[in-house]
């Protein structure tokens, strides 16, 4: 059996039913990119199991607070992490986000602990990302549009940290920020995101395809 564990914030959580005990069912996997990935992988290899432990609203410090219970104590062959947009959003909206240096420190510590407890596990890191929508396209998230340069600068700094961590720990990088920047040249941001942060069906599908492309290209999964 090959076990995959997804960790992160609401982008990974995607309305999953946290009370559901059957880990690889639709209810437990959520309605986001994790479900897309699981559907494909489990259809081509019945020995693959996928678990989603993402929690909406998590910053990197919130993820670390539950790291032992929800990650280190789990059994997995591959760990995938997407976290960072709340670190920016909470900073700019509520003044309780996570600045870049602290984000780097905590991310580093998380990966160090994974390497200590799960030395043979493969690690996949996804860059955090944002979308610039038009004012008429959103009811929530207009502050992102109004202060785009600040938001974008902050998300780029967090994405650069993820790039650094991938190199430092020999993890596989999914360049999701750059993926969606390129996608927005083909279709407007509102095609990929519902509010500048959360993904639409098309956005979830695209992220899942990129995740699979990177992982299969690196021979990280038995398919």
Average pLDDT of span 144-160: 96
Q: CA-CA distance, 116 to 112, in Å (whole number)?
A: 6
Residues 86-97: tens digit of each pLDDT = 999 999 999 999
Residues 176-202: tens digit of each pLDDT = 999 999 999 999 999 999 999 999 999
Q: CA-CA distance, 223 to 125, in Å (whole number)?
A: 20
Which pair of tokens denotes residue 16? 């999953």
Say what the pLDDT of residue 136 is: 74
Check whether 138 has a pLDDT greater than 80: no
Q: CA-CA distance, 110 to 71, in Å (whole number)?
A: 10
Check whether 131 has a pLDDT greater than 90: yes
Ordered by start, the domain boundaries in the chain are: 2-129+148-176+200-217
How many angstroms separate the Cα of 156 from the Cα of each of 84, 129, 208?
10, 8, 21
Q: For all residues of the chain together, what is the average pLDDT?
A: 96
CATH code for the domain defined by 2-129+148-176+200-217:
3.40.50.1110
For residue 18, report the phi and psi dihedrals to the nearest 5 degrees.
-70, -15
Tell me the DSSP string of 80-149: EEE--HHHHHHHHHHS-S--HHHHHHHHHHHHHHHHHH-TT-EEEEE--------GGG-SS-HHHHHTHH
Check whether 139 has a pLDDT greater than 90: no
Q: Residue 80: which pLDDT band, with cuts at 50, 70 and 90?
A: very high
């Amino acid at each position: 059996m090959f076990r995959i564990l997804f960790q992160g914030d609401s982008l990974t959580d995607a309305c999953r039913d946290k009370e559901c005990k059957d880990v690889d069912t639709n209810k437990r996997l959520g309605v986001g990119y994790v479900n897309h990935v699981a559907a494909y992988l489990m259809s081509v290899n019945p020995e693959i199991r996928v678990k989603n432990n993402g929690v909406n609203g998590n910053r990197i410090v919130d993820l670390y607070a539950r790291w032992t219970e929800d990650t280190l104590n789990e059994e997995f062959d591959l760990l995938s992490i997407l976290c960072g947009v709340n670190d920016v959003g909470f900073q700019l909206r509520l003044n309780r986000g996570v600045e870049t240096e602290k984000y780097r420190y905590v991310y580093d510590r998380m990966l160090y602990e994974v390497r200590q407890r799960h030395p043979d596990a493969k690690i996949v890191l996804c860059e955090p990302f944002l979308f610039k929508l038009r004012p008429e396209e959103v009811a929530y998230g207009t502050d992102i549009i109004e202060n785009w340069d600040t938001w974008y600068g902050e998300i780029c700094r967090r994405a650069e940290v993820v790039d650094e961590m991938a190199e430092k720990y020999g993890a596989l990088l999914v360049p999701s920020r750059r993926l969606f920047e390129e996608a927005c040249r083909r279709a407007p941001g509102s095609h990929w995101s519902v509010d500048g942060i959360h993904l639409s069906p098309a956005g979830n599908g695209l992220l899942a395809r990129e995740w699979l492309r990177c992982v299969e290209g690196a021979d990280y999964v038995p398919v």
